[in-house]
Amino acid sequence: DGKIEAEVKLTGILSLGALQPGETRKYGTTIAPGLYAPVHQHFFVARMDMAVDCKPGEAFNQVVEVNLKVEEPGKDNVHNNAFYAEEELLRSELQAMRDCNPLTARHWIVRNTRNVNRTGQLTGFKLVPGSNCLPLAGSEAKFLRRAAFLKHNLWVTPYAHDEMYPGGEFPNQNPRVGEGLATWVKQNRSLEEADVVLWYVFGVIHIPRLEDWPVMPVDRIGFMLMPHGFFNCSPAVDVPPSTTDLELKDNDIATKPIQNVIIAKL
């Protein structure tokens, strides 16, 4: 149906610390006698050069943020249950430093500024966040100097061939002058019509359970890219039929399958 799903699976053996008899730790879970597993986070960054509906060399994309809004009480909302989707164009890099908000079903759509679908709307693909989090650390934490890109769930930049790694080319030596995503966006380049690159930062908070020891079952995290007005109708309606041409009844009499009239008309 046109969706692109990205999934990360986490498993393995927990990193543990030792406990004295009767001791507990505020920052972890007692996982077995004499052992505790610290509470921790994992973060991942997906760099996506979108080029939605673009030919090679074209740079005709823009990014809009969508939030659900509750309508004010009044003549347009007499039953106090109306809500609508509100769009905002992200015009520059500094404006496009964004965070997830499940309370407003926040998502982002990358649209082609020149191509339209059969209803006249711009063709696009939307980024649908999965479960996510931000770093649980103070603003002056040392690791945030090296990994400043963790401060937001979404960053958007125009494509540049030397901007490949969010922490810079040598992340263990970061911060370095002119390197890293948080430095690049200070140029505040225009995104109104560009070859946009989405940097989606997604993380998981792992509060260890007893069931995670000795080997942790798989935990999943990810996101989805979904067509939004990119196709004129559902791309799944023309999925090839079953390879079974005939169905046999209980009495072994062959019958022809019923034709799907709706699919045939489409």
b (16+ CB within 10 A) / e for 238-248:
eeeeeeeeeee
Q: In this model, does residue 108 exceed pLDDT 90? A: yes
Give all domains of the chain, ordered by start, each with its CATH number. 4-252 (2.70.98.20)
Mean pLDDT of 120-134: 97
Residue 196 binned pLDDT confidence (cut-offs 50, 70, 90): very high
Determine the Cα–Cα distance for residues 138 and 124; give it in Å rounded to an integer: 37
The whole-chain average pLDDT of the chain stands at: 91
pLDDT digits 0-9 by tens, 205-252:
999 999 999 999 999 999 999 999 999 999 988 777 776 654 544 445
pLDDT digits 0-9 by tens, 68-104:
999 999 998 999 999 999 999 999 999 999 999 999 9
* pLDDT value of position 45: 97
Q: In this model, does residue 256 exceed pLDDT 60? A: no
Q: What is the CA radius of gyration of the chain?
A: 25
